[in-house]
Structure 1
Amino acid sequence: MMDIGFQLFSARNYPLADVLKKVAALGYSHVEGYGSLYTDPQALKAQLDANGLTMPTAHVSLGDLEDTSKTLKLAETLGIKVVVCPWLAPTDRPTSADGWKKFGDRLQKIGKPFQDAGLTFGYHNHEFEFISYDGKYAMDWLLEAAPAVNVEADVAWIVRGNADPATWLPKFGDRIVAVHVKDIAPAGQNADEDGWADAGQGTVPWKTLWPIVRSQTKAQYFVAEHDNPNDIDRFASRSIAFIKSLGA
């Protein structure tokens, strides 16, 4: 049986206690954390335990990642196994191949203490890493410069970046340890949800991509996400049902 996770950022506008109860009841086995949830790690762990949930993957800001001892303590408290750098602010994004290589080198160094502690360290993409510089995607320059850094692949953002996930995922499949399962609404729809859709309700060709994800990557964590849902019950229930329908 495949374990399915829920990215809590999707529910940032809803009460956490209600969300944890809801996703546990729907059959999610784990949740993925993000920055503002970590104010009181012990209290968060107690909430997870009360709902029978774990947090094996977590998004941790670049600044906090560079505070190694703080993040290692967070991982120990919450049982985090995969620490993920989730995003680069626009002002921090390189604008050249050399810049992305330098950022990759920076991530390689940031990740080493976590790897030395037995954790997996990865990077989560958006669309801007699929801008091409000197004939390669920014993401490719980054990963080539950081051979020890793994990937949490956000497939819908790859599509929004006008890249082909069916081609790109196998290229780095041995480094893809987690996948965000979300969807893109048809053109002109869901404007109040920033053009996103519940998994299986949009245009991402998941039925074609799923066999690639399962057979050509080493992903162990499959995390439902929606960047701006206007109905958390609908999103959570539809998404887990769709992911289960894809099969193991």
Structure 2
Amino acid sequence: MMNRRDFVKSGAAASVVAMTSISRATPLGLPLGLQLYSVREPLQKDFAGTLKQVGSLGYREVEAAGFYNHSVDDVKAALAAAGLRCVSAHYPLGTLKPQIDQILPFCKSVGVEYVVCSSPMHQNESAGKAELTLDDWRWNADQFNDIAGKVNAAGMHFAYHNHVAEFAETGGALPYEVLLKNTNPAKVNFEMDCGWVIVAGHDPVQYLKQFPTRIVMLHIKDFKDNKPPSVALGNGSIDYKPIFAAAKTGHIRHCFVEQEEFQQPMMEALAIDARYMKAVRS
């Protein structure tokens, strides 16, 4: 007969097994992650409460898209209460460059592993919203090399996150490949947003196979007919099985669901996304 102590031990063990199955029941054997841009509006109103909701859906890692003026202690407490780890944080280059000395200690204290540039900028700030030139992209590569050195010195890694512009031919070249060619492989990593690559008319599998050591994180989103707005995973046209199969041969460290628009209640959609990630197999 099982006594109370054995019962408690068995229950604790079962909880650990269940938690492991939730956190690692993803195609790449990685903890289920969410890019917090997905919940940007509720985060502004209730930071800790929103993180708890995210954690309750089975997500175990998050990638920040701003900390909404919360202190390090507040962020760490909210993450701990939600059972989450913030392993990555996004900043546009226009923020990274002038605020790097404030960003790095904050991120390190929170537990961030990857500081990610979420968008490039013009070399000449007076260019406004004009498309970046080939020289602009080369200049951005130089900035990434410089910033990556500082991020590494602070004990973290640097990565760049793409949108669509990186795959529009510019000056006879693809900006994404210009960035890959002109950045230091030992310092500058890439976070591939698979959805935006497909919207741009390219194949994530090609890049995952061609640059297996440069691409270390993924964004997973879905679209109907391969164009915005985004929909819940499995409700669109993107087949992730070959993408995950290719990713398995590389060096992917983190994988984040991101849904930017919603056709149903937000948390309901994010639950669909979580179930998809647990069910899909390469």
Same fold (TM over 0.5): yes
1:14-163 matches, cutoff 5 A: 14=42, 15-66=46-97, 67-88=99-120, 91=128, 95-147=132-184, 148-163=187-202
Partners of 1:27 and 1:180 lie apart in 2 by 17
Judged with a 3 Å threshold, the aligned counterparts in structure 2 of structure 1 residues 212 and 88 are, in CA distance, closer, same or farther, namely same
Tell me which moved more, 62-71 or 88-97. 88-97
Which is further off, 152-161 or 63-72? 63-72
Amino acid at match of 1:198: A
Counterpart of 1:35 in 2: which secondary structure?
Answer: coil
Q: Distance in 2 between matches of 1:37 and 1:213?
A: 33
The match for 1:225 is 258
CA distance in structure 2 between the aligned counterparts of 1:119 and 1:105, rounded to whole angstroms: 19
Identity %: 28
Partner of 2:280: 246
Q: Which residue of 1 aligns with 2:208?
A: 169
| Cα distance in 2, alignment partners of residues 101 and 107 from structure 1 | 10
CA deviation after TM superposition for structure 1 residue 172, in Å: 2.0
Helix, strand or coil: the match of 2:274? helix
Structure 1 runs, 4 residues or longer, greater than 4 Å off: none
Q: TM-score, normalization: structure 1?
A: 0.89
| 8 A contact 1:200–1:206 mirrored in 2 | no
Maintained 8 Å contact 2:64/2:86:
yes
Residues 96, 232 of structure 1: alpha-carbon distance in 2 compared, 3 angstrom cutoff: same
Q: TM-score, normalised by structure 2?
A: 0.79
Bigger shift: residues 128-137 or 141-150: 128-137
Residue 64 to residue 99, structure 1, CA distance change in 2 (3 Å)? closer
1:13 aligns with one of 41, 56, 67 = 41
Distance 2:171 2:92 in 1: 28
Cα distance, 1:38–1:83 mapped onto 2, change above 3 Å: farther
Partners in 2 of 1:111 and 1:246 — Cα distance?
Answer: 34
What secondary structure sits across from 2:248 in the alignment? helix
The AA in structure 2 aligned to 1:204 is: I
Mean Cα deviation higher: 105-114 or 32-41: 32-41
- Over residues 89-146 of structure 1, what are the superposed CA-to-partner deviations in whole Å (9 max), with x where a residue is unaligned? 6837763323211210111111111112221100000001101134431111012111
Structure having the higher Rg:
2
CA–CA distance in structure 1, aligned partners of residues 211 and 226 of structure 2 = 29
Q: CA RMSD in A?
A: 2.1
Contact 2:35-2:256 at 8 Å conserved across structures: yes
Cα distance in 1 for partners of 2:237, 2:36 equals 23
Q: 1:44 to 1:135 in 2, by over 3 A?
A: same
Structure 2 SS opposite 1:234:
helix
Residue ranges of structure 1 left out of the alignment (5+ in a row): 189-193
Figure out how many residues of one structure are paired with residues of the other and give that number: 242
